[in-house]
Amino acid sequence: MSKSLLNRRRLLTGAVGLPFLTAQPTWAQALKQTLTARNLSIAQIVDTSTTQQDVSRDFLIGSRAAWQDINARGGIRGRPIQHLVLEVDGSMPSLRAALETIRTQPQCLALCGTAGDRTATQLVQLLRQEQLDIAHAAPWLHNADGQEERTFCIFASRQEQIAHALKSLSTNGVAELGAVYASAQENALYRADVERAAADLKLRLTSYTLSGSLRQAGASLNSDTPAILLFLGGTPELAQFTQGMEKQTRQRYVIALADVNLQTMAQLGAARNTPVVATQVVPMVNAGLPVVRAYRETLARLFDEAPTALSLAGFIAARYTQEVLQTIEPAPTRQNVLQAFQRRAPLDLGGFRISFNGLRRGSPYVTQSMLSLDGRIVG
């Protein structure tokens, strides 16, 4: 078994005592380093709680690869940028502590690539409450509400992903859909968006909120359950749910959103009898776009990791932030960096187009990829 696969499985099952990334300093070490550092820094807050570990890990790897490559090429106008990673446990007190660390460090220019969704949403709220004027760029993921002057989303939102997934079903003649929420939290966060999208497309919708054993819930599907299910939850939950579906005689398809890690699903042997389709808000990792080629080359040079959509997203988040910082003269400060992001200038990032056009979001790009029965990921 490869070292990469072993680490993923340990992360997914919530093993304790393991570093989130072997080359990553701990919280205390990171704080000590930055308090004495003179370099300019970019902070990245990542949620390492059980349900977000696999998402945050891959997204962070892509960001780390980008910042290491940026510094190797001269940094920002000849100055290296320290990539400060602060790990949180998904709780508000943990996030408040991370934000307080950033507040006390004026050399920290911006936040970039917050992961995952719940932490990004909480951070947006905290930035409003605390009135901390610092740019919050390219979070993964967040449904912006149009009232944010500090947060700059560049990836398609969950609403846009849901609409894309349901529209693709409608155009293929599907009339009935089941929406499966992994917990009451997902139900509260996403049900209104799902029901609105289904109503717009005239799809018959049946909703299920899971509790207790997800594997048992997957095994208990009956003849009344729709053949196509939209799953709202993380990778561990979906893996357990599809493992419960293995003995089902009826063929079903599961649709998930972009924070489900299909590579991890394949490595766990999940969904062996159930094809899983996931929305994707970045290009396929084998695409020929210049930004994707740069990502693959950088990842191969710096890390022993296979390319994934999530680490590509982390790479793009860092590169977008770099491009904005490069526009600032004579020297970047927290204030002029925020002003530069607020201009929302359009950008073609090696074929990945970011153009706000007066709106809050930078890219409406959504596609889909599938984990097939033989474990391949097909675009």
Q: Give whole-number Cα distances, 132 to 107, 126, 143, 348, in Å.
A: 14, 8, 20, 29
Rounded to 5 degrees, φ, ψ at 370 are: -125, 135
Q: Are residues 185 and 216 in the same domain?
A: yes
Out of 280, 301, 333, pick the residue that ends a domain: 280
Q: What is the pTM of this model?
A: 0.86
Answer for the pair 115, 54: CB distance below 8 angstroms, yes or no.
Answer: no
pLDDT of residue 360: 59
Question: Quick check: is 378 in a domain?
Answer: no
Question: 352 φ, ψ to 5°?
Answer: -95, 110
Q: Which of 371, 176, 352 shows the shortest CA–CA distance to 255?
A: 371
Contact criterion met (CB below 8 Å) for 135 and 333: no
- 105: domain CATH number is 3.40.50.2300
205 CB contacts (<8 Å, ≥6 apart)?
176, 177, 178, 179, 194, 195, 198, 199
94 in a domain, yes or no?
yes
Check whether residue 143 and residue 21 sit in a common domain: yes
Neighbours of 19 (CB within 10 A): 11
- Find the domain containing 201 and state its range: 158-280
What stretches in the chain show pLDDT beneath 50?
1-28, 32, 34-37
- Which residues are paired to 82 by β-bridges? 41
The number of distinct structural domains making up the chain is 2
- Tell me: do 15 and 67 sit in the same domain: yes
Q: End of a domain among 280, 302, 322?
A: 280
Count CB neighbours of 186 within 10 A: 20
Identify the pLDDT of residue 121.
Answer: 87
166 plus 140 within the same structural domain:
no
Last residue of a domain, which of 260, 280, 300?
A: 280
If one counts every other C-beta atom within 10 angstroms of the C-beta of residue 200, the result is 12
Q: Check whether residue 97 and residue 193 sit in a common domain.
A: no
Residue 379 falls within a domain, yes or no? no
Instruction: For residue 142, give every residue at least 6 positions away whose Cβ sits within 8 Å of its Cβ, in sequence order, or none.
Output: 114, 117, 120, 121, 124, 151, 153, 157
The DSSP 8-state label assigned to residue 227 in this structure reads: S
Q: State whether 137 and 209 are in the same domain.
A: no
Question: Does residue 45 lie within any of the structural domains?
Answer: yes
pLDDT of residue 1: 37
pLDDT tens for residues 301-345? 999 999 999 999 999 999 999 999 999 988 899 999 999 999 989
Q: Do 127 and 25 share a structural domain?
A: yes
> Residue 375: inside a domain, yes or no?
no
240 part of a folded domain: yes
The answer to whether position 82 is within a domain reads: yes
State how far the Cα of 379 lies from the Cα of 370, in Å rounded to an integer: 6
Number of Cα atoms under 13 Å in the Cβ half of residue 55: 28
125, 143, 335 from 344: Cα distances, Å:
21, 18, 15
Residue 74: Cβ within 10 Å count = 10
The answer to whether residues 183 and 68 belong to one domain is no
Q: Which strands, in side-by-side order, build the sheet including 367-371?
A: 204-209, 176-181, 228-232, 253-256, 276-280, 367-371, 377-378
Same domain, 187 and 276: yes
Say if residue 143 is in the same domain as residue 291.
yes
Same-domain status, 45 and 65 = yes
Preceding amide of 116 cis, omega within 30: yes
The length of the chain is 379
Secondary structure of residue 234 in the 3-state scheme: coil
- Closest by CA position to 231, among listed 223, 217, 241, 221: 241
Task: With respect to residue 364, please indicate whether it lies within any of the assigned structural domains.
Answer: no
DSSP 26: P
Q: Could you give the C-alpha distances from 163 to 171, 261, 300, in angstroms and in order? A: 12, 20, 34
C-alpha to C-alpha distance for 185 and 199, rounded to whole angstroms = 22
- Between CA 352 and CA 359, with CA 358 as vertex, the angle to 5 degrees is 70
Instruction: Look at residue 35 in the predicted model and tell me its pLDDT.
Output: 44
Tell me what pLDDT residue 236 has: 86
Alpha-carbon distance of 310 to 262, in angstroms, equals 10
Contact residues for 45 (Cβ-Cβ < 8 A; gap 6+) = 86, 87, 88, 95, 98, 99, 111, 114, 115, 119, 123
Q: Which residues pair with 266 in a beta bridge?
A: none
Pair (188, 109) in one structural domain: no
